[in-house]
Structure 1
Amino acid sequence: MATVNEIVSFTYLGLSKAVSPKRCRLGIPQTWLKWRSSWVLGGVGCSSRNPSFVNPKRNGFKLFNSVELGNFVTSDDEEKNEMSDCFFEAIEELERMTREPSDVLEEMNERLSDRELQLVLVYFAQEGRDSWCALEVFEWLRKENRVDKETMELMVSIMCGWVQKLIGSKSEAGDVVDLLVDMDCVGLNPSFSMVEKVISLYWDAGEREGAVLFVKEVLRRQIAYSDGNVDGHKAGPAGYLAWKMMEEGNYKDAVKLVIDIRDSGLKPELYSYLIAMTAVVKELNEFGKALRKLKGFARTGLVAELDLENLRLIEEYQADLLAEGVQLSDWLIQEGGPSLFGVVHERLLAMYVCAGRGIEAERHLWQMKLSGKEVTGDLQDIVLAICASQKELGPISRLLTGMEASSSLQKKKTLSWLLRGYIKGGHLENAAETVIKMLDLGLYPDFLDRAAVLQRLRRRIQQSGSLETYLNLCKHLSEASLIGPCLVYLYIKKYRLWIIRTL
């Protein structure tokens, strides 16, 4: 059997084109289709040639140069590469359109080889030929169980070429969907999702808006999709396009896509909500990193400090993102049911962590646990640090519950996160208390952590209450041999008074 590895370009065939009233031509713009490798005949590797068919006249059927084959590869035996008389008869009969293709092929079933049937497909797939005939030929092949892997790949390549031509000519999204429907009707079932393939073709062609319109049309017509699933739920076109947007870093566009589809009255798949919520998390994370970098520039004097108006805009942007994430989670819970509670609260927790919202993050952390979703110790410590930076004593107390039963290593890790949260929020008295608590438990804070507390307390030493906190911390650190003997002094300018104390 011949293996089709390169599309054959039929450039001219002198055949009549009478149109039967029973069939009409499918007006699909098509493109020249090319495959990468060569024909393999009878399992023998072939050399590259570009001949015409031999015997330019068969049964009174004149072929002007017959059929020219672009990059047609033959074996060393010329006789094996000749098309049979039946092949030319089939082409002529199908071109006349006086009978149904299935009737013509049924008569010649035993006389046409698999390679010749593949060439029939290629011939009618060309621009200017009867495209619908190619689909009917393939449908007949499938019913006769003569569609092998190579033939399936050939037809898929032909279909992709048609889709590319439609996209390139900026045809309506409905025309592309019609083609997919025709493909499904004739039983073309590739090993991948054709909907995803079409979205990728739009994307690669730079037709972003066309991809959106195509997805909406697929959802409007409720075209069947692949059985791939995420978290036990089917994937779909909206989620795939949103994922493509996320790949390029367009997180906000991915969120907007899913929300717009839902607001337009269509029903995107559940997977798309999860993708959009992930996009919210990523956008919040990128926004937070940019904001921290901007504040760093402001501290070094490279840019001006953020004024109240800019701070208001920052807060509004973050609040809008969170509101969109909550809206997506509501839709997901409404349509997905209790089985999705865990993954929904996981996404919401990530959102509030990126936004630095301690109370909301803690609430969804407990919701995750209640829904049976595992929460890692690292994630709980991060939420603890956020709550500490905002001095949320209630959540801090709840999150520290059970710490006493943990190992010394885990205790140190948890209290270190608590300490860093207090330092970040500027709550130095609480930070000093945390250091002392760690020392009482026999745990030594990291050098950078305890140094940060001491340095910041030293800057505030003239503030009310700061001196006692500083002295108490120095005493405990000295007793633990973490600092050497030191001299603590204070100058009161009003009274020109120096107060000196040795630890």
Structure 2
Amino acid sequence: MAVAHGFASLIEMGFLSTSSCSFPRYVVPQFNLSSLEFRSRVWNRICKDQNPRFLVPKRSRIGEFRLFGLVELDPILTSDDEDEMGEGFFEAIEELESMAREPADVLEDMNERLSVRELQLVLVYFSQEGRDSWCALEVFEWLRKENRVDKETMELMVSLMCGWVRKLIEGESAIGDVVDLLVEMDCVGLKPSFSMIEKVISLYWEMGVKERAIMFVKEVLERGISYSVDDGEGHKGGPTGYLAWKMMVEGNYRGAVKLVIDFRKFGLKPEVYSYLIAMTAVVKELNEFSKALRKLKGFVKNGLVAELDVENVRLTQKYQSELVEDGICLSNWVIQEGSSVLSVVVHERLLTIYICAGRGLEAERQLWEMKLLGKDADRELYDIVLAICASQKEASAVARLVTRVDVTSSIRRKKTLSWLLRGYIKGAHFEDASKTILKMLDLGLCPEYLDRAAVLQGLRKGIQQSGNVEPYLNLCKRLYEENLIGPCLLYMYINRVHVW
């Protein structure tokens, strides 16, 4: 069914006003038609451009409406509707169209003569192209005041309004016009749902005019447009959060972070959940950044590219630091504006950010903050933070985190000590790594072969630099006793040392 071009014409003529809830009118000429001719004209107008699939046997209710269905009412019109329309219906159409009296007065006089279905068709009629579309809003407002808006009528009106919104967007009308329509919906008690705002953003996005989607959300925030919440899931954070989520889906993580922060700094008020979504974008960007650095190091190792100079190293560190600072800024806003329930979520996000950035001490602090709030992090997260602290040789943090090992099972203990061992290996702290292997052997745990080999290789290189052979010999001796190393290998290195 065609949607009201007349509404678009109103906007172009400057009749749309958001300063009040009174709806502009324009006069439709009266026609001196016979009763039969008038009935035919009204019915043809209602059925204009209707998909034939709607002319099916009448059902008891309107099917679940879909936003932006261009008023496909599944089915509001049926093959036997015309026969059911009484004289009151056609009289109401004629008098409303003549505009001799206010719609509320007309409907008040005919209240008892119009059925729910007839009132629904009045809405459909005045939403058609070339009709007084705003009359439909006035009719709906009267229905709401008279408590005659049931679920079907509400779905019908929302579907009509969504069709108007879609026409505005596809017709490249000004963004302010789209927002004006949302305001007028609120004025008649038809509070826009978040689904409608979400669809507006999606439609702009799919049309490739992403800047208009950003401008739309910005104007929604500036004008404080309220909307109903369909469920308790946060709707990807409301308009700002949903827009940031759309950016994240396309991999524009940095853009999503910048969007939320810029809105907040420009004096707008994004939804609290949008800050959490932006923190997730920070995590994803840090992950992508780390992957890129690892790939670059691989190219350097294989001689495909030159090593980064001092300035480039500084720039990479600066970029990572700025991302972390953005995450901290967003977390502060959540704590300031959100409920205490979100505190745990904030610390979880911060923990992930610090882990991705390789900041051991800050990550450890988030673990204890979560514990104080009654939310203990997964054991794997403790192990990862332990490895980071070990790689940075943060002895105090390692000591605090390792205390948990004594109260765990042997399998869990081996996993934790293996993370500790690999942290030392990554940080090139091979003597500490050797002590960790010895501790594991004392506990009856067998370190992985690759871990043992890496530590032995690191200790051998240390001998050449410091001349200290004790850590290497002690580890070899213990590994031999545990049948984890061959005697010929031990003998060879003893001879090397003896020659020196």
Q: Under a length normalisation based on structure 2, what TM-score does the superposition of the two structures give?
A: 0.81
Deviation at 1:374, TM superposition (A): 1.9
Q: Which of these residues, 103, 108, 113, is aligned with residue 105 of structure 2? A: 103
From the superposition, tell whether residues 228 and 297 of structure 1 become closer, same or farther in structure 2 (CA, over 3 Å): farther
Structure 1 CA distance, aligned partners of 2:188 and 2:339? 37
From the superposition, tell whether residues 26 and 212 of structure 1 become closer, same or farther in structure 2 (CA, over 3 Å): farther
The reply on whether 1:69 has 2:48 as its aligned counterpart is: yes
Question: What's 1:32 paired with?
Answer: none
From the superposition, tell whether residues 11 and 89 of structure 1 become closer, same or farther in structure 2 (CA, over 3 Å): farther
Taking the TM superposition and a 5 Å limit, the aligned residue runs for 1:16-27 are: 24-25=24-25
From the superposition, tell whether residues 290 and 78 of structure 1 become closer, same or farther in structure 2 (CA, over 3 Å): closer
Residues 335 and 343, structure 2, Cα contact 8 Å, conserved in 1: yes
Structure 2 CA distance, aligned partners of 1:498 and 1:305? 35
Structure 1 CA distance, aligned partners of 2:4 and 2:182? 25
Deviation at 1:178, TM superposition (A): 1.9
Question: What's 1:276 paired with?
Answer: 278
Question: What's 2:426 paired with?
Answer: 424
Larger strand fraction of residues: 1
Structure 1 CA distance, aligned partners of 2:229 and 2:160? 24
Q: Which of these residues, 245, 248, 263, is aligned with residue 246 of structure 1? A: 248
Q: Under a length normalisation based on structure 1, what TM-score does the superposition of the two structures give?
A: 0.80
Give per-residue Cα distances to partners, 1:441-465, cap 9 Å, x unaligned: 1111122222322334345553324
- SS of equivalent to 2:111: coil
Residues 457 and 466, structure 1, Cα contact 8 Å, conserved in 2: no
Which stretch has the larger CA shift, 112-121 or 122-131? 112-121
Larger helix fraction of residues: 2
From the superposition, tell whether residues 431 and 180 of structure 1 become closer, same or farther in structure 2 (CA, over 3 Å): same
Deviation at 1:380, TM superposition (A): 0.9
Q: Structure 1: give runs of 5+ residues left out of the alignment.
A: 1-6, 13-18, 28-55
Question: What's 1:124 paired with?
Answer: 126
Taking the TM superposition and a 5 Å limit, the aligned residue runs for 1:107-186 are: 107-186=109-188
Which stretch has the larger CA shift, 421-430 or 78-87? 78-87
Question: What's 2:63 paired with?
Answer: none
Residues 461 and 467, structure 1, Cα contact 8 Å, conserved in 2: yes
Deviation at 1:222, TM superposition (A): 2.3
Residues 487 and 500, structure 1, Cα contact 8 Å, conserved in 2: no
Q: Structure 2: give runs of 5+ residues left out of the alignment.
A: 7-14, 16-21, 28-32, 58-77
Q: Which of these residues, 347, 368, 382, is aligned with residue 349 of structure 2? A: 347
Q: Which of these residues, 19, 35, 40, is aligned with residue 58 of structure 1? A: 35
Which stretch has the larger CA shift, 115-124 or 222-231? 222-231
Deviation at 1:11, TM superposition (A): 11
- SS of equivalent to 1:105: helix
Which stretch has the larger CA shift, 138-147 or 412-421? 138-147
From the superposition, tell whether residues 478 and 137 of structure 1 become closer, same or farther in structure 2 (CA, over 3 Å): same
State the one-letter code of the partner of 1:179: L
Bigger relative CO (Cα 8 Å, ≥ 6 apart): 2
**Alpha carbon RMSD of aligned pairs, Å?**
3.4
Deviation at 1:317, TM superposition (A): 0.6
- Percent identity over the alignment is 65
Give per-residue Cα distances to partners, 1:322-375, cap 9 Å, x unaligned: 111111222222333655433222221111100111122122222222233322
Residues 234 and 270, structure 1, Cα contact 8 Å, conserved in 2: no
Give per-residue Cα distances to partners, 1:284-329, cap 9 Å, x unaligned: 1111112112212222233332222221111111011111111122
State the one-letter code of the partner of 1:462: Q
State the one-letter code of the partner of 2:199: K
Deviation at 1:160, TM superposition (A): 1.4
From the superposition, tell whether residues 79 and 280 of structure 1 become closer, same or farther in structure 2 (CA, over 3 Å): closer
State the one-letter code of the partner of 1:251: Y
State the one-letter code of the partner of 1:138: F
Deviation at 1:484, TM superposition (A): 2.7
- SS of equivalent to 2:376: coil
Question: What's 2:205 paired with?
Answer: 203
Residues 490 and 500, structure 1, Cα contact 8 Å, conserved in 2: no
Residues 384 and 399, structure 1, Cα contact 8 Å, conserved in 2: yes
